[in-house]
Chain A
Amino acid sequence: MVRVQTEDFDPGAEMDKLVAGRTDIGATVTFVGHMRSRNEDRDVETMTLEHYPGMAEKALSEIETEAHKRWPLQASTVIHRVGPLKPGDRIVLVITASAHRQAAFEAAAFLMDWLKTKAPFWKKESGPEGESWVSSRSTDEDAAQRWTASAKSE
């Protein structure tokens, strides 16, 4: 299940929903991304998340489908917030559920790495020094790339 929304989400409630009525799930991994008040040595007061409506949901669904192809997942949830956020706010939620922990851990990491580089979201930060669009990081590209490399070697 993927969702793009302006409102906050409740990670515990989302996890409960995912496992409700299921007895085949032995492990869930929940990842939450939060907003920091400092980024690249600058103070950040507000971060605004923009997305490409339609394509964002489509890209998240494709990434989720890819995770289910690569790991034996029973279920998953991906929620990405958009709009203005404050330091400490939750930004993104990934939950993976599997019979065993390894698939859940790996798939959660994969979903986050691919989501950061393959889904149309953009961050704008504003603080005492003004407004600026966040630049993409080569470390995020490298993180996404490692899943491509491991897929090729198999």
Chain B
Amino acid sequence: MQQFVNLTLGGVITGAVYAAFALALVLIWRSTRIVNFAQGAMAAITTFIALSLIESGQSYWVGLVVALLAGLVIGAVVERLVIRPVEGGPELNAVIVTLGLFIAIQALISVLFGVNQRAFVAPFSTIGFRVGDNSLALSPNTLFTLGAVLLVMVGLTALFRFTRVGLAMRASAFGQEVARLLGVRVGRMLTLGWALAAVVGSLAGMLIAAEVTFVTPTYMDALIVFGFVAAVLGGLDSPVGAVVGGLLLGLLLSYVRGYVGDELVGLAALVVLVVVLLVRPGGLFSTTQTRRA
């Protein structure tokens, strides 16, 4: 029983981080129809910037704020300079560009920060709460992780539902040409979308770094796979789907890790991906029946 409870708790927590990362992918897919494979590397470089600050004596919170701001800037710059030329072109071009960006940024991290494993200290205690004699897979730090993801989701929902900018961003996502004719600066909305997505990605990077306690230039590689599977599971078009997909995948992988074996986690994620694509290619929350390949 204790194992089940702990696996469930652990699943919810990693699921929340997958959800945040999937959300970042969905934000970009919705507005530009591009899967941003560089998302993980973009998040990793902001984590390394934060880590350098923290190691030089700054507090975790300064590091976090700087990481999120760096994410904002990197997202906007990447969209304007690298993605804009391939927007609206063949999909393969965009895929190749984001893959190239992924490799380039990862190499840049190695050059700037070295390839060695570095310790990442969590902002709160990672020692689990105790219920009687049992230790739970729930610590002050995991509560922080959950809270941060929740806050970002509420914030994004409010932005899209209740503000004019959010409305303009949604309009741009549904019909660029029409939105443009109605006076929406569509280009600006796309830049903003990438910037916001990069902020969410950076947050996921910071949170996962605190969970795994060690970072290397490639530490986000697993997360991009899980985040992508979560996004496809929920339906690439649906922010709600990304969150639900993230939580479901987190739970499933946690049970696989606990009951079957650690080495099968990656395989299980890919099985989920293949099954979803075979059975329900639009995802659990698809609103559209057809999807361009």
Partners in one complex: no
Contact residues of A with B, CB < 8 Å?
none
